[in-house]
Structure 1
Amino acid sequence: MIHYKTREQVELIKESAQILGKAHGEVAKHVKPGVKTIELDRIAEEFIRDHGGVPSFKNFNGFPASLCISLNENVVHGFPSDYELKEGDIISVDCGVFFKGFHSDSAYTYPVGKVNDETLKLLKVTKESLYKGIEKAVCGNRIGDIASAIQKHVEPFGYGIVRELVGHGIGEELHESPEVPNYGKPGRGPKLNDGLVIAIEPMINLGSKSVVQEDDGWTIRTADRKPSAHFEHTVAIFKEGTEVLTTHKYIEENFKF
Structure 2
Amino acid sequence: MIELYSPTEIEQMRPAGRFVAETLTELAATAKVGMNLLELDELAARRIKEAGATSCYVDYHPSFGGSPFGKVLCTSVNDAVLHGLPHNYKLRDGDLLSLDFAVNVNGWVADSAVSVVVGTPREEDLKLIDTATRALEAGIAAAVEGNKIGDISHAIATVARDAGLGINTQFGGHGVGREMHGDPHIPNDGRPGRGMRLKPGLVIAIEPWFLHTTDEIIFDSDGWTLRSADGSRGAHMEHTIAITEGEPIILTDRNL
Check whether TM > 0.5.
yes
TM-score, normalization: structure 2?
Answer: 0.95
What is the distance in 2 between the residues matched to 1:8 and 1:57?
A: 27
What is the distance in 2 between the residues matched to 1:169 and 1:238?
A: 15
What is the distance in 2 between the residues matched to 1:207 and 1:175?
A: 28
1:72-221 matches, within 5 Å, as: 72-221=78-227
**Alignment-derived partner of residue 5 in structure 1:** 5
What residue identity is the alignment partner of 1:242?
Answer: P
1:19-58 matches, within 5 Å, as: 19-58=19-58
Deviations for 1:50-86, whole angstroms, at most 9, x for unmatched residues? 0121121121111111001101111101111120001
Q: Which stretches in structure 2 are left out of the alignment for 5+ residues?
A: 62-67
TM-score, normalization: structure 1?
Answer: 0.94
Q: Is the 8 A contact 1:26 1:44 kept in 2?
A: no
What is the distance in 2 between the residues matched to 1:209 and 1:29?
A: 29
**Alignment-derived partner of residue 244 in structure 2:** 238
**Alignment-derived partner of residue 59 in structure 1:** 59
Q: Which stretches in structure 1 are left out of the alignment for 5+ residues?
A: 251-257
Q: Secondary structure at the match of 2:145?
A: coil
Q: How far is the alpha carbon of 1:29 from its aligned partner?
A: 2.6
What residue identity is the alignment partner of 2:130?
Answer: K
Q: Is the 8 A contact 2:153 2:190 kept in 1?
A: yes
What is the distance in 2 between the residues matched to 1:249 and 1:34?
A: 27
Q: Is the 8 A contact 2:144 2:246 kept in 1?
A: no
**Alignment-derived partner of residue 254 in structure 1:** none
What is the distance in 1 between the residues matched to 2:150 and 2:89?
A: 38
Structure 1 runs (4+) greater than 6 angstroms displaced: none
Q: Is the 8 A contact 1:159 1:207 kept in 2?
A: yes
Q: Is the 8 A contact 2:85 2:222 kept in 1?
A: no
RMSD, aligned CA: 1.1
